[in-house]
Amino acid sequence: MNKKTKLIAAGLGLVQLALLGNKAVAQEAQNLNEVVITATKNEQKQSQTGKVVTVITSEELARSSGKNLAELLNQQAGITIGGVGSNAGKDKSLFFRGAGSAYAVILIDGILVTDPSGNGGAFDLRMFAIDQIERIEILRGGQSTIYGSDAVAGVVNIITKKSGKKGNNVYGIASAGSYNSYKGTIGLSSEVDAFTYNLSYSHFKTDGISEAANPAGNTQVFDKDGLKQDALNANFSIQLDKRLSINPFVRYFYGKFDYDDDAFTDAKNTSVSKHFNGGVNAIYQLDKGKITLNYSHENTNREYISMYGGKYQGKMDLLDVFYNQNLGNKLNLLLGLDNRATTVTHFGTTTNTEPSANLFSTYASLFLHDLSVFNLEVGGRYNKHNKYGENFTYAVTPSVNITKEVKVFGTVSSAFRAPTLEMLFGQYGANLDLKPEKSTSYEAGAQFNLLNEKVNLRVVGFKRNMTDAIIYGANGYINQDKQNDKGFEIEPGVKLGVFSINGYYAYVEGKQISGTVVSDILLRRPKHTYGANIGVQATTALYVNANYKFTGERTDSDFSTYPSVNKVLDSYNLFNFYAEYALAKKRVKIFADLKNITNEKYTEIIGYNTMGFNMNAGVNFNF
């Protein structure tokens, strides 16, 4: 019996043992129309918006103890995470509806987070522990009117654990797995009169696998490329009176990641990332509205220790103030402004450069809801950048609830991405004359919730046209490329008694236009992805889950050669099996997670691929 067969047999044995000892119960259905989301910076029911929103609930997160944030997002329609199945320490690239990782915005508790020290500025998904998250809201499509620069393809809003109960409440998780992997989280929360807090610390360490493949005939043993990371998350809330609440937060992340030189060259390279994020959220309640202030300071330090090493520091200060007003029972007004001041430092051998940029925006939207069967959101945003000047975005989102079970919706919106400090002032190919990248998006679809929401289906088609895309040309960064993407997503779901099945199929294709050259290749982005998630609440104590994802053929370039060579990479499948058994009235849960691993880093670059399985088991407790 091979390793794979033994692991699967062990997992099935756990299921059989629990089935013999407990009685099956039905899982309560969730009323999707009552789910409150923050898609318009104001609480609203999901049935009232025409935006394409997916909510990953606290229940789903609690049943994902063996996963990380990138793996969880990779299970969603229209999202592909590069490197998701590879070494845990490998960087993760989020591709959203065919767009690159720099065209999606990550929020934590509704506040933008980024990596101002990086070339693309994209938030590093390795920086946040999944055990510190309460729920996740995913918005697809252009969202720049509400969330500003980079929200071209979508937004991911990570909502952290905050609520406290009276007394001292301790929660946590401890697990161990293959490749000498250890993971742990410990948290403490409480409520004392008008003061609540939630503190959590997470640690993860693994020896990993070698990112380089040992060439045939080579007898040298390649070292493993592991990681070590620590994350601290602290949320506080002070209710000063019945109208005013002050909510400070502090987050810190440390990560040390090993990596190799290339596909067949072992090396003891290391990157170290230190990320601090602190700030405050303040809410003042009015009789028919509220004023919200968000302030955030981010400081990221990255160092690469290798033959081509470097050291970088990025800082961003964000101030976002917005005003919500209810104009009657069916009309809401949103007015806001935000300012983003960014600085990056390149530590050179002789001199240090500290370029900076400032982006100021003001935005507004009107939200008409429940006018018979009709809902409508109309908004616009004005942006002024101290280098490139001014630009404007808009969004129009109507929806019609034809019946309680059927909703149709659509959106026409524009979005933008401001050039990064690296593009404007960097050491290689800087261009102060760069304009922002601009896009216009169209989407339309329908949502069906049938049989008291036991059966649901969402179908969405989209098209996105981008102009002034920034590329690195022969003489540096320039505005030249166009990229036109289109596709569709189908998301069915069924809940029948103890069973729940959710699936998806996503298709995307695009053209990149550079001068007179037209290419229908979207690097690293497959045309076809589909998957399914099957869960069974087998007993009052036992929950089992199986997840599958197919990633179709995609094309990549070997950038180690010049000119680079494109290669078509084979499709692949990822499987994940999870079982959870609850003890002590569900306050203690033991779990086991079995999942694929791939050397996907080099799958993307040269077509090399290895696959295996990783076993992780542990305990989740809440007292």
For residue 597, pLDDT over 90 is answered with no
Question: How far is residue 485's CA from residue 228's CA, in Å, rounded to a whole number?
Answer: 38
Would you place residue 234 in the very low, low, confident or very high pLDDT band (cuts 50, 70, 90)? very high
More confident residue, 564 or 458: 458
Question: How far is residue 50's CA from residue 153's CA, in Å, rounded to a whole number?
Answer: 16
Question: How far is residue 178's CA from residue 25's CA, in Å, rounded to a whole number?
Answer: 33
Question: What sections of 22-77 are H helices per DSSP?
Answer: 58-62, 69-73
Q: What is residue 5's predicted lDDT score, i.e. its pLDDT?
A: 39
Structure tokens at 69: 């944030």
Q: For residue range 135-189, what is the model confidence (pLDDT) as tens digits?
A: 999 999 999 999 999 999 999 999 998 876 777 889 999 999 888 999 999 999 9
Question: How far is residue 247's CA from residue 3's CA, in Å, rounded to a whole number?
Answer: 49
Q: What is residue 350's predicted lDDT score, i.e. its pLDDT?
A: 54
Phi, psi of 431 (to 5 degrees): -145, 110
Q: What is residue 13's predicted lDDT score, i.e. its pLDDT?
A: 40
Phi-psi region of 240 (alpha: psi -120 to 50; beta: other; left: phi over 0): alpha
Question: How far is residue 450's CA from residue 404's CA, in Å, rounded to a whole number?
Answer: 9
**What DSSP string describes 210-265?**
-SSPPPTT--PPPPPEEEEEEEEEEEEEEE-SSSEEEEEEEEEEEEEEEE-SBTTB
Would you place residue 15 in the very low, low, confident or very high pLDDT band (cuts 50, 70, 90)? very low
Range name among 2-6, 52-56, 271-275 with the lowest pLDDT average: 2-6
Name the maximum alpha-carbon separation found in the chain.
Answer: 76
Q: What is residue 17's predicted lDDT score, i.e. its pLDDT?
A: 36
Q: For residue range 354-373, what is the model confidence (pLDDT) as tens digits?
A: 789 999 999 999 999 989 99
Give the CB-side neighbour count of residue 475, counting CA atoms within 13 A: 4
For residue 67, pLDDT over 90 is answered with no
